[in-house]
Amino acid sequence: MILDVVKVFVPTAIAFFVGIVMTPFLTHYLYKYKMWKKRSGKVAMDGSATPIFNALHKDKEVGTPKMGGIIIWGSVLLTILIIWFFSEFFPNSVTGKLNFLHRNTTWLPLFTLIAGSLIGLIDDFYEVMGTGDHIAGGLSLKKRLLVVFLISLVGAWWFYTKLEVSSISIPFDGIVNIGLWFVPLFSLVMLAVYSSGVIDGIDGLAGGVFATIFSAYGIIAFYQQQIDISAFCFVLVGGILAFLWFNIPPARFYMAETGTMGLTVTLAVIAFLTDAHVDGKGLSVLPIVAFPLVITVLSDVIQVTSKKLRHGKKVFLIAPLHHHFEAIGWPAYKVTMRYWVISIIFSLLGVIIALSGHLV
């Protein structure tokens, strides 16, 4: 047990300090080359204007660099490579124990993290350059969804053929084998989780929420004896905390698509890895653990649906929901802190439910 705890938290600390060390170099580059939007403003999911958002954020989007998510996935990748290097070229009981990069456990989440993050980085680059498929620059939503869909097919294939997983956990009904339907379900879940990346937009909000969610899955994996997965989750937390150190108001940079795309697609993979694959409930508790992400997506869906069916009438002043709270007068820090609190409460609830069978 003690060695497992060390295996989880030593890499977490390494990732945090690697991220802290990386930041001055990244900051220098981002500010030197002015890697921020050249004009503020965005468009809604349905293509309409967002005057309230533009008024709230007109002074925030210009002058603060994007691409801060590089700190997260960069520190995770470097930490994994450093530990792997020492375990391969200086093998001993310590380095061998700390290494958590293995084919059957962490290859897939590492692939999704890097693949999603690199595509997100391309989107961010186009956006700050002011070019792309829409008014704000960057890749169009359709292209980003296509990329996520392709990543999901790789993940579904890996689960179905390499890990021989075709079952999911059903609340109050145990494990159910769904056969080949596992593939479209996997893709649907990943696309749904990716859509929650719009939670990014207020200093510190996304970082705190994602750190809490991956901590919850790290705990779930640990108690299911998935120590490699637990270590991976907590290394992500270490990278996120390094990012968050500089993203708390006033933000030095924003997470942007290179952070949210990598984190969301990886979260979907982690949910499935902690599910029926090990007789767990990782997928079942995803809507609970990730409740802030769920309400973020739902608020967007409700808003768009209402505008289409009710002749332009809106439910919220602005969507997603966290921007609605800003619009009614909540200071940004109040929105962030309350989302953190909600995230912690629902993550704890999800952990309790997921581990209920293991703790009896």
Show the tokens assigned to 293.
Answer: 């992400």
What is the pLDDT at residue 184?
97
- HEC letters along 56-116: HHCCCCCCCCCCCCHHHHHHHHHHHHHHHHHHHHCCCHHHHHHCCCCCCCCHHHHHHHHHH
Per the listing, tokens 């590089």 go with: 70
What is the pLDDT at residue 53?
65
Which residues face 49 on adjacent strands?
A: 43
Burial pattern 143-177, b for ≥16 Cβ within 10 A else e, equals ebeebbeebbeebbebbbeeeebbbbbeeeeeeee
CA dist., res. 153 & res. 20, Å (int)? 34
What amino acid occupies position 130?
A: G
Indicate if the pLDDT at residue 277 is higher than 60.
yes
Q: Among 182-191, 231-240, 302-311, whose mean pLDDT is lowest?
A: 302-311
pLDDT band at 177 (very low <50, low <70, confident <90, very high): very high
Show the tokens assigned to 329.
Answer: 């007068």
Show the tokens assigned to 163.
Answer: 């890990």
Q: Give the predicted TM-score (pTM) of the model.
A: 0.94
Which residues face 177 on adjacent strands?
A: 167
Show the tokens assigned to 51.
Answer: 């005057």
Across all residues in the chain, what is the average pLDDT? 91
% the chain with pLDDT above 70: 91
In sequence order, the 6+-apart residues with CB closer than 8 A to the CB of 10 are 98
Indicate if the pLDDT at residue 133 is higher than 70.
no
The ranges assigned to domains in the chain are 2-359
Rounded (5°) CA angle 284-213-50: 100
Residues 144-158: tens digit of each pLDDT: 999 999 999 999 999
pLDDT band at 110 (very low <50, low <70, confident <90, very high): very high
What is the pLDDT at residue 360?
46
Q: What is the mean pLDDT of residues 278-302?
A: 96
Indicate if the pLDDT at residue 82 is higher than 70.
yes
**Burial class of residue 54 in the structure, from the number of CB atoms within 10 Å of its CB (0-12 exposed, 13-18 middle, 19+ buried):** middle
